[in-house]
Amino acid sequence: MDPSHQKHFTIVDYVIFAILLVASMGIGLYYALSGGRQRTTQEFLMADRNMRCLPVSLSLIASFQSAVAIIGVPAEIYTHGTQYWFIGCAYFLGLLIPAHVFIPVLYRLRLSSAYQYLELRFSKAVRICGTLTFIFQMVIYMGVCVYTPAFALNAVTGFELWGAVLAIGLVCALYTTMGGLKAVIWTDVFQTIVMFAGQLAVIVVGVHQTGGVSEVWRKVWAGNLISGLDLNPDPTVRHTFWTLGVGGVFLMLSLYGVNQAQVQRYLSSRTEKEAVRSCYMVFPSLQLTLALSCVMGLVMFARYCGEDHSEKLGGSSGDAMVIYFVMDMLQGLPGLPGLFMACLFSAALSTISSALNSLATVTMEDLIKPHFPAMSEARATLLSKVLALSYGLLCLVMAYVTHQMGDSVLQVALKIFGMVGGPILGLFCLGMFFPWANSTGAVAGLGVGLSMAFWIGIGSIATRSSGTRPLPPRCRAALLSDNMTTVIESLPSNVTLSLPSGLTRFYSLSYMWYSAFNCFTVILIGLTISFLTGPMKEENVTPGTVYPLLGTLLCFLPERLKKKLCCVTPLGQTPSSLQMPPPQHKEINGVDPQHESGPSWEETDSFLPDTRTPFVEQETTV
């Protein structure tokens, strides 16, 4: 951006900004000095398994809502219309399924890390593969998260980019290291509120400056920005109802169902009911966040479309444009630019702290503890803190990688979720829904799934074609007549209207399908290899690791018919020879996965542990 158009913060802005950082550090310090003073891994990594649903739910939203979404979604709406908003449809199933499928299975196994499940269900090897994949995913994602707000600050105020990256990384690593998961969750609560406040402020000011809600509506309508439901079944069209509403469900499942950052929050809840409730509470708040960021894009359009900003913007990206417009709207309103920056940094800090804590957890629980079973609690906790801090430093390195990518940040983040998160989701689905899947199948499935993911992902980057884009809104055509072509060209677009062919067509699969596609690859390959190498026998499957999917789907059928169709029999009614096999993995990291009565399934109400009607899987493969 042209330096002469840079904005300058007032004292009030700096104060607001400082309050955010100091408060976050304060919360970290508070939890370092209160409670058990972070002297056990139970407290540092699991928050003593004593959290209530309200903080957990706000923290669940904060984990994957970073500055990327706050800047990226308005940029998407501004340039391509409101189609992206339909991702909200995916939140229904994307949260219901985790609440009623993944949480019950994972919570009842009393895990510390989600990947412990993979060892219980398959083997140690699968667990390590899963853990390494997760670490890879979160480390790249953290890079995007830390880079985005630093880039924003730099674009607007000329603040040293790498100074900001360093500041975010260090503040985050410090309070995460001091206060553990409790601090991470409670800073998330505070930061989520700041995030909402910042977005709301921008919208209110923007609407006011445009001349009211009706004026905003008139302009976005005239600008052809409001998109109807696009039911085009073509999987290469970037955003349609199918890619967003169906592909999005798999994206949500990979984040809210099996991602360690989220699973850890469910596990830190004091009861299973509380965990399920927190998942339900995510729904309205996530819709609100989505609505706020979409409306922000609309307001920006109404306020700026048709004006010539080329000289100020130079050749900046769509993301930079959002920041510029916001700062332009807020100038002369002391405190508000600071609030917006605080909003961006809140979003980033909350995501990075979740990532750091979850990375420390999996590294400790999955990679280190199994090799040093005799390690003292004090030493394990110290090591966890060192790990959290080291990952913080690593994320700085990753910011540099993002710097080199040059795609829109939203697209980069969602691609990472799909390319790496999709195969992990596949691995969990393979284990939970298919009792026949074996360890060899799981490893092969994950390997092939990841290879396919990177083939498509890298192919699409090389050919710049991850999903064809719709025609840009009318306004952009109008803008093309100005000398704004540089901006338009540098917007993340390839307005491909001709259908690509062959391999190019494969590469142009919409990135919103990545999660689903990669998940199915893992399941398909996993099942094929399992059947080829000898499917898992029922008595070898650890009880409680398989979800009776068919039994639940067909719950309306009479018991006798169900028994015939879906191979699931209530435990009480099975002959003793068919009852749960004795536990195989007696102790994993000091936690008995069998618990007292063994994990079980209740048919009527998953909230009432006393009225359980346990089911057991019977292997009656045909």
Interacting residues toward ligand PAU by CB under 6 A:
64-66, 68-69, 87, 145, 255, 286, 351, 410, 413
> Of 218-237, which residues contact Na ion (CB under 5 A)?
none
CB of 61 to Na ion, least distance (A): 8
- Decide which of Na ion, ligand PAU, none touches 79; Cβ closer than 5 to 8 Å per partner kind: none
- Decide which of Na ion, ligand PAU, none touches 408; Cβ closer than 5 to 8 Å per partner kind: none
240 touching Na ion, by CB under 5 A: no
Looking up tokens 């142009």 gives 508
CB of 604 to ligand PAU, least distance (A): 31
Nearer to ligand PAU, 87 or 300 (CB): 87
- Decide which of Na ion, ligand PAU, none touches 255; Cβ closer than 5 to 8 Å per partner kind: ligand PAU
* Strand partners for 569: 616
- Decide which of ligand PAU, Na ion, none touches 254; Cβ closer than 5 to 8 Å per partner kind: none
Q: Which two tokens stand for residue 508?
A: 């142009």
- Decide which of ligand PAU, Na ion, none touches 302; Cβ closer than 5 to 8 Å per partner kind: none
CB of 91 to ligand PAU, least distance (A): 7
- Decide which of Na ion, ligand PAU, none touches 75; Cβ closer than 5 to 8 Å per partner kind: none
- Decide which of Na ion, ligand PAU, none touches 350; Cβ closer than 5 to 8 Å per partner kind: Na ion
CB of 68 to ligand PAU, least distance (A): 4
Q: Can you tell me the distance from the alpha carbon of 341 to that of 74, in angstroms, rounded to the nearest whole number?
A: 16
176 touching Na ion, by CB under 5 A: no
Which residues touch 190 (CB under 8 Å, ≥6 apart)? 23, 24, 27, 346
Q: Can you tell me the distance from the alpha carbon of 495 to that of 511, in angstroms, rounded to the nearest whole number?
A: 16
Crossing angle of helices 124-157 and 336-362, in 10° steps, is 160
Q: How far is CA 183 from CA 44, 45, 361, in A?
A: 9, 11, 15
Which residues touch 568 (CB under 8 Å, ≥6 apart)? 548, 550, 551, 562, 615, 616, 617, 618
- Decide which of ligand PAU, Na ion, none touches 466; Cβ closer than 5 to 8 Å per partner kind: none
* Strand partners for 591: 588
Nearer to ligand PAU, 66 or 317 (CB): 66
Nearer to ligand PAU, 66 or 440 (CB): 66
CB of 356 to ligand PAU, least distance (A): 15
CB of 346 to Na ion, least distance (A): 7
Q: What does the radius of gyration of the chain's CA atoms come to, in whole angstroms?
A: 25
Q: Say if CB 512 and CB 251 are below 8 A apart.
A: yes
351 touching Na ion, by CB under 5 A: yes
CB of 317 to ligand PAU, least distance (A): 16
- Decide which of Na ion, ligand PAU, none touches 167; Cβ closer than 5 to 8 Å per partner kind: none
Nearer to Na ion, 347 or 516 (CB): 347
Nearer to ligand PAU, 31 or 391 (CB): 391
CB of 199 to Na ion, least distance (A): 13
Q: Report the candidate in 619, 454, 449, 419 with the shortest Cα–Cα distance to residue 537.
A: 619
Nearer to ligand PAU, 223 or 248 (CB): 248
Nearer to ligand PAU, 418 or 614 (CB): 418
**Span of 224-232, 309-317, 351-359, 413-421 interacting with Na ion by CB under 5 A:** 351-359
CB of 302 to ligand PAU, least distance (A): 23
CB of 343 to ligand PAU, least distance (A): 13
- Decide which of Na ion, ligand PAU, none touches 62; Cβ closer than 5 to 8 Å per partner kind: Na ion
Q: Say if CB 31 and CB 176 are below 8 A apart.
A: no
Phi, psi of 602 (to 5 degrees): -100, 145
CB-count burial class (<10 Å; 0-12, 13-18, 19+) for 90: buried
CB of 78 to Na ion, least distance (A): 22
Which residues touch 383 (CB under 8 Å, ≥6 apart)? 364, 368, 375
Which residues touch 95 (CB under 8 Å, ≥6 apart)? 252, 256, 279, 280, 282, 283, 286
- Decide which of Na ion, ligand PAU, none touches 286; Cβ closer than 5 to 8 Å per partner kind: ligand PAU
Nearer to Na ion, 350 or 521 (CB): 350
CB of 494 to Na ion, least distance (A): 29
Nearer to ligand PAU, 428 or 547 (CB): 428
Nearer to ligand PAU, 410 or 516 (CB): 410
Q: Which two tokens stand for residue 92?
A: 């229904």
- Decide which of ligand PAU, Na ion, none touches 296; Cβ closer than 5 to 8 Å per partner kind: none
**Span of 5-13, 340-348, 508-516, 521-529 interacting with Na ion by CB under 5 A:** 340-348
Nearer to ligand PAU, 122 or 256 (CB): 256
Torsion angle of C-alpha atoms 362, 364, 367, 371, degrees rounded to 10: -150
Q: Can you tell me the distance from the alpha carbon of 92 to that of 290, in angstroms, rounded to the nearest whole number?
A: 14
347 touching Na ion, by CB under 5 A: yes
Q: Say if CB 67 and CB 310 are below 8 A apart.
A: no
- Decide which of ligand PAU, Na ion, none touches 387; Cβ closer than 5 to 8 Å per partner kind: none
Looking up tokens 């957890």 gives 361
Q: Which two tokens stand for residue 619?
A: 């292997």
Which residues touch 466 (CB under 8 Å, ≥6 apart)? 238, 411, 415, 457, 460, 507, 508, 509, 510, 511
> Of 38-97, which residues contact Na ion (CB under 5 A)?
62, 65-66
320 touching Na ion, by CB under 5 A: no
Looking up tokens 């950082």 gives 21
H helices of 271-362, in order, are 272-304, 310-313, 318-330, 336-362
Q: How far is CA 594 from CA 298, 318, 516, in A?
A: 52, 52, 32
Nearer to ligand PAU, 147 or 434 (CB): 147
CB of 307 to ligand PAU, least distance (A): 28
Q: How far is CA 4 from CA 155, 311, 319, in A?
A: 12, 10, 20
Residue selected from 131, 264, 269, 350 as contacting Na ion according to rule CB under 5 A: 350
Q: What's the chain's length in residues?
A: 622
Q: Which two tokens stand for residue 119?
A: 């060892």
Binding residues vs Na ion (CB under 5 A):
62, 65-66, 347, 350-351
